[in-house]
């Protein structure tokens, strides 16, 4: 090996690349000049600029995890039927723009022929935002790609049509850290048993004071177990959140039976009408049931069916529940209301009904 | 869940090649195979195509199937980085060992992810997508996630040795690693000015200005915990910045919204008065809209809170005003450890027009990160620091004056010491007088 080759290469700390070098020329020309848009059909956005320019954008659902075959397949379509430019939405949909309306139909046809759905615009159920799960995460209670694939199969018609009162954002998360974020409907792992501790490994693997500090309810304390320094959990205090597991893998929180799935509704980040809201718990104890998680799909579809029937135009799930009230939500969805729905965390009193406002 | 028969099976998302170039026999994957069914494009077809190419993905499918069977994950972290950086790579080593102490799926026993920052706004040419894919095919599994929840392109699955080779190659053509660990993380911005009429800001410029100013804090993790910037061009907040970022920049305007009365009339004529009253007027959160007898619209702009609803519905008739800028909210995060916090208003309005304006934004971010890095506990997000020390102490720390736009309502508890009231009242009067 030459001396030069042995010298490691110093990185160029270039940071976030400039998007303009990859941007559709019509986007560059009309940057900051757009006047309005409409949707000629589900999955297609039509933007008109103050300069008179127009672009049609086709939104394509993907499986998020892409390999060279599908990247080339999709790029071939974009090169042949569009202008060679593509962007991704926050929910892993591809957006392909053309400046000629006549190109839209053949472009859609080409994507559909290759098996990729067109949709996810306006008041549809768009692609589910998903995390890594068993494929790559070090602390997952479930898979992400499989849950999303199963649900998108079930909700396919809602992706390719715009039939909901307003847009529906669904998220998934494989642990309670909730990387998937807030959603109109969120499908998140919820552990139900305290961690199982491998005391032989704790002293070697874990920085014990950090683990003690990580617990939100101060349920972990240092202890000598079988003559070895370890940690113990006050199981009466433990809320089974799994926060100790990432800094201390010998505190195994995941369990094939007791790691369940919980479903939350009403999160939204838009400021339209109401202020942004966090999602709220509606169902827990749902089995983590690969490969298709049918129990999750059943509850999600039920909530969507009731929302579709009962909500007014433009109401997001959270807006709708605020209008009809939680008792009606549980009545309409036929989900059981339990003591677990009543919050007891810091600030919980703000979530109680401090009024005689009751719907009969 | 019917799946249509492809016109050309070799140019279809379900295609799996008959020819096998990988030398290791496939594992039996009955559970994953179930996920090949149904109309949505399946990641399992993708994994199988890659497994036909390389042994790493053959064994990856073996481990994933094992997870499906046992309902447990089997990856552990470790320490892997490229020369000169401390973060940006998520190391993964298999935990599945056989009774002989050797990895059950040895070809994927190292399966690291590189987090790479996408171009602002997630714009690509097909040529660049293919180039990234080719580089990853050369040095990794071939599998790429567009994009992770923080906003990175995630190149999933390679060995320790190849992380350096792959990084060297893509770094040469303009791509850099994102953040992992206690550091400034990769940012996200919406499509914004590039293709959206609601945009009130230059999202791309803000995004790159903020994140590239802290590139050292991204590549060398030394902060109390993660710190995220997100940029949305309007209060629709498509980037979910209020809930998912420590420093949220949201475009807005402070003059009157624009009303094209001709288009309002056309909208009423098309949709009908009932629709306009039910779906626009009565959905305004501050009752700032009124439909006039001649089907034009009156707007009480002083009480409009820029929620975006009417602009979203009557897209052609209503638009943001001309005096644009941004609102800055600090402290959004998810559950760990004290529970969810939304970002809260720290700067109600900042004009971003001149280079000096942008410099002011950058300084604001520097002040926030400096104060937080100095005062936070280990593993404490900025929103948690604010919760622990109180907003007023935080504001003093970053040198920002109090403003009634920061609160929903003044305090309700009388347990507060107010012996410097006169001085504080004087400060308010001085600020008002200074305009």
pLDDT single digits (tens) B194-212: 999 999 999 999 999 999 9
CA distances from B337 to A221, A333, B317, B333, B387 (A): 17, 31, 45, 10, 12
**A274 to chain B: nearest residue by CA?**
B285
The residue among B226 and A4 whose pLDDT is bigger is B226
Q: Looking at the complex, does the CB of residue A70 fall below 8 Å from at least one CB of chain B?
A: yes
Read off the pLDDT of each residue in B41-59 and give the average, rounded to a whole number.
Answer: 98
C-beta atoms of B147 and A92 within 8 A? yes
pLDDT digit string, tens, across residues A24-47: 999 999 999 999 999 999 999 999
Cβ–Cβ gap A65/B145 under 8 Å = yes
The pLDDT score that the predictor gives to residue B339 is 84
The tokens describing A147, both together, are 């849950």
Tokens 């396919």 correspond to A156
The pLDDT of B39-62, averaged and rounded, is 98
Assign B74 a pLDDT band (cuts: 50, 70, 90): very high
| pLDDT of A1 higher than 60 | no
- pLDDT for residue A2: 52
The answer to whether B337 and B226 have CB atoms below 8 angstroms apart is: no
Q: Output the pLDDT for position B350.
A: 98
| pLDDT at residue A6 greater than cutoff 80 | no
| A329: phi then psi, degrees, rounded to nearest 5 | -60, -50
DSSP strand pairing (B318-319 vs B258-259): antiparallel
Q: Which band of pLDDT confidence, cut at 50, 70 and 90, is reported for residue B3?
A: low
For the segment A55-77, the average pLDDT, to the nearest whole number, is: 97
Q: How far A328 CA sits from the closest chain B CA (Å)? A: 21
| Residue the block writes with tokens 């997630």 | B122
Structure confidence at residue A24 (pLDDT)? 98
How many Cβ atoms from other residues are within 10 Å of residue A281's Cβ?
18
- Of the candidates B132, B195, B199, the one whose C-alpha atom is nearest the C-alpha of residue B167 is B132
**Token digits of residue A127:** 């692609």
Q: With pLDDT > 70 as the criterion, what percentage of chain A qualifies?
A: 98
Q: What is the pLDDT of residue A7?
A: 83
Task: State the span(s) of chain B assigned CATH 3.30.70.20.
Answer: 258-319
User: What's B89-172's CATH class?
Assistant: alpha beta
pLDDT at position A3 is: 52
pLDDT confidence of residue B5: 85
- Tens of pLDDT, residue by residue over B76-103, are 999 999 999 999 999 999 999 999 999 9
Q: pLDDT band for B334, please (50, 70, 90 cuts).
A: confident
CB of B8 within 8 Å of a chain A CB? The answer is yes
B2 pLDDT higher than 80: no
Chain segment B347-385, per-residue pLDDT in tens: 999 999 999 999 999 999 999 999 999 999 999 999 999
Q: Given the DSSP bridges, would you call strands B229-232 and B247-253 parallel, antiparallel or unpaired?
A: parallel
Q: How far is A11 from chain B (nearest CA, A)?
A: 7
CA atoms within 13 Å, Cβ hemisphere of A83? 24
pLDDT at B425: 97
SS3 A59: strand
Measured CA angle at A299 (ends A295, A305), to 5 deg:
140
CATH class, B258-319 region: alpha beta
Chain-wide mean pLDDT for chain B? Answer: 96
DSSP string, A205-230: H--HHHHHHH-TT--EEEEEETTEEE
CA–CA dist A211, B387 (Å, integer)? 21
Q: Give the per-residue pLDDT at A293.
A: 98
Contact A131 B7 (CB under 8 A): no
Residue B158 has pLDDT above 90, yes or no: yes
Instruction: Give chain B positions within 8 Å (CB) of A281.
Output: none
Of residues A32, A270, A271, nearest to B193 (C-beta): A32
Q: Among partner residues B35, B111, B307, which is closest to A271 by beta-carbon distance?
A: B307
Give residue B337's pLDDT. Answer: 86
| B281 has a chain A CB within 8 A of its CB | no
Best to test chain A binding among B125, B185, B203 (most A CBs inside 10 Å): B125
Q: For the structural domain made of B188-251+326-400, what CATH number should be given? A: 3.30.413.10
CATH 3.30.413.10 domain extents, chain B: 188-251+326-400
Could you tell me where in chain B the CATH 3.30.70.2500 domains are found? 89-172
How big is the A-B interface in CB pairs under 8 Å? 381
B197 in contact with A, Cβ within 8 Å: yes
- Give the pLDDT confidence score for residue B336 in this predicted structure: 85
Contact residues, chain B, for A85 at CB < 8 Å: 123-126
* B28 lies within 8 A of chain A by CB: no
Percent of the residues in chain A that have a pLDDT greater than 90, as a whole number: 96
Nearest to B112 by CA among B160, B161, B166, B40: B160
- Ramachandran region of residue B240, left (φ > 0), alpha (ψ -120 to 50) or beta? left
What lies within 8 Å, CB to CB, of B428 at 6+ separation is: none
B13 touches chain A (CB under 8 A): yes
pLDDT at B410 over 70: yes
Nearest to A313 among B120, B157, B279 (CB): B279
- The DSSP bridge partners found for residue A280 are A265
Cis ω before B337 (30° cut-off from 0): yes
Please tell me the distance in Å from A262's CA to the nearest CA on chain B.
Answer: 15
Report DSSP letters for B253-276, one per residue. Answer: E-SPPEE-HHHHHHHHHHH-HHHH
Closest by Cβ to A37, choosing from B11, B64, B315: B315
């Amino acid at each position: 090996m030459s001396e030069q080759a042995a010298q490691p290469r110093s990185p160029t700390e270039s940071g976030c690349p400039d998007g303009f070098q990859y941007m559709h020329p019509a986007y560059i020309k009309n940057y900051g000049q757009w006047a309005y848009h409409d949707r000629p059909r589900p999955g297609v956005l039509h933007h008109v600029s103050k300069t008179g320019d127009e672009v049609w954008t086709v939104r394509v659902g993907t499986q998020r995890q892409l390999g060279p075959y599908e990247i080339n397949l999709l790029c071939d379509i974009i090169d042949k039927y569009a202008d060679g430019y593509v962007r991704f939405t926050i929910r892993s949909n591809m957006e392909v723009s053309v400046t000629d309306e006549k190109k839209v139909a053949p472009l859609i046809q080409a994507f559909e022929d290759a098996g990729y759905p067109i949709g996810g615009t306006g008041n549809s159920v768009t692609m589910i935002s998903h995390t890594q799960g068993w494929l790559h995460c070090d602390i997952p209670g479930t898979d992400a790609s499989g849950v999303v694939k199963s649900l998108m199969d079930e909700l396919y018609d809602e992706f390719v049509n715009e039939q909901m009162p307003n847009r529906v954002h669904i998220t998934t998360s494989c642990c309670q850290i909730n990387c998937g974020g807030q959603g109109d409907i969120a499908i998140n792992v919820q552990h139900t048993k305290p961690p199982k501790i491998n005391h032989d490994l704790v002293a070697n693997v874990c920085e014990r004071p950090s683990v003690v500090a990580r617990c939100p309810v101060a349920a972990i304390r240092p202890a000598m177990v079988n003559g070895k320094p370890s940690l113990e959990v006050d199981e009466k205090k433990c809320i089974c959140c799994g926060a100790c597991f990432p800094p201390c893998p010998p505190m195994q929180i995941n369990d094939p039976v007791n790691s369940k799935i919980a479903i939350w509704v009403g999160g939204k980040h838009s400021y339209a009408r109401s202020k942004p809201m966090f999602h709220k718990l509606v169902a827990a104890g749902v089995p983590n049931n690969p490969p298709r998680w049918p129990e999750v799909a059943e509850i999600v579809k039920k909530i969507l069916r009731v929302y579709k029937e009962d909500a007014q135009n433009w109401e997001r799930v959270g807006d709708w529940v605020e209008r009809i009230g939680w008792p009606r939500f549980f009545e309409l969805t036929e989900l059981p209301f339990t003591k677990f729905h009543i919050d007891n965390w810091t600030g919980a009193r703000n979530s109680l009904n401090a009024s005689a406002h009751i719907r009969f | 869940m019917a799946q249509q028969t492809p016109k050309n099976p070799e140019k279809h998302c379900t295609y799996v090649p008959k020819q096998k170039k990988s030398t290791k026999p496939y594992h039996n994957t009955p559970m994953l195979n179930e996920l090949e069914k149904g109309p949505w494009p399946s990641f399992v077809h993708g994994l199988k195509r890659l497994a036909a190419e390389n042994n790493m993905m053959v064994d990856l499918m073996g481990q994933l199937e094992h997870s499906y069977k046992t309902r447990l994950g089997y990856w552990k972290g470790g320490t892997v980085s490229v020369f000169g950086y401390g973060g940006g790579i998520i190391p993964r080593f298999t935990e599945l060992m056989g009774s002989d102490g050797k990895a059950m799926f040895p070809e994927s026993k190292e399966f690291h992810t590189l987090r790479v920052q996408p171009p602002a706004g997630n714009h690509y040419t097909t040529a660049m997508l293919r180039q990234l894919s080719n580089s990853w095919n050369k040095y990794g599994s071939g599998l790429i996630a567009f994009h992770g929840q923080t906003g990175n392109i995630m190149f999933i699955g390679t060995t320790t040795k190849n992380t350096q080779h792959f990084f060297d190659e893509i770094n040469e053509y303009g791509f850099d690693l994102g953040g992992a660990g206690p550091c400034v993380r990769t940012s996200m911005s919406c499509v914004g000015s590039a293709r959206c009429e609601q945009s009130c800001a230059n999202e791309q410029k803000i995004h790159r200005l903020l994140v590239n100013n802290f590139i050292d804090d991204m590549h060398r993790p030394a902060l109390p915990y993660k710190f995220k910037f997100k940029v949305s061009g309007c209060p629709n907040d498509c980037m979910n910045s209020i809930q998912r970022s420590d420093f949220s920049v949201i475009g807005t305007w402070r003059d009157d919204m624009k009303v094209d009365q001709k288009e309002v009339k056309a909208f009423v004529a098309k949709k009908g008065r009932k629709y306009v009253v039910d779906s626009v007027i009565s959905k305004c959160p501050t009752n700032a809209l009124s439909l006039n007898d001649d089907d034009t619209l009156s707007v009480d702009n002083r009480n409009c809170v820029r929620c975006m609803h009417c602009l979203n519905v009557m897209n052609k008739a209503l638009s943001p005003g001309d005096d644009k800028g941004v609102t800055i909210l600090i402290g959004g995060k998810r559950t760990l450890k004290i529970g969810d916090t939304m970002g809260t208003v720290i700067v109600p309005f900042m004009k971003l027009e001149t280079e000096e304006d942008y410099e002011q934004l950058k300084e604001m971010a520097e002040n926030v990160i400096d104060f937080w890095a100095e005062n936070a506990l280990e593993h404490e997000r900025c929103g948690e620091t604010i919760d622990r020390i109180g907003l007023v102490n935080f504001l003093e720390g970053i040198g920002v004056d109090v403003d009634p736009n920061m609160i929903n309502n003044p305090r309700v508890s009388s347990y507060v010491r107010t012996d410097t009231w006169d001085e504080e009242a004087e400060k308010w009067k001085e600020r008002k007088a200074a305009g």
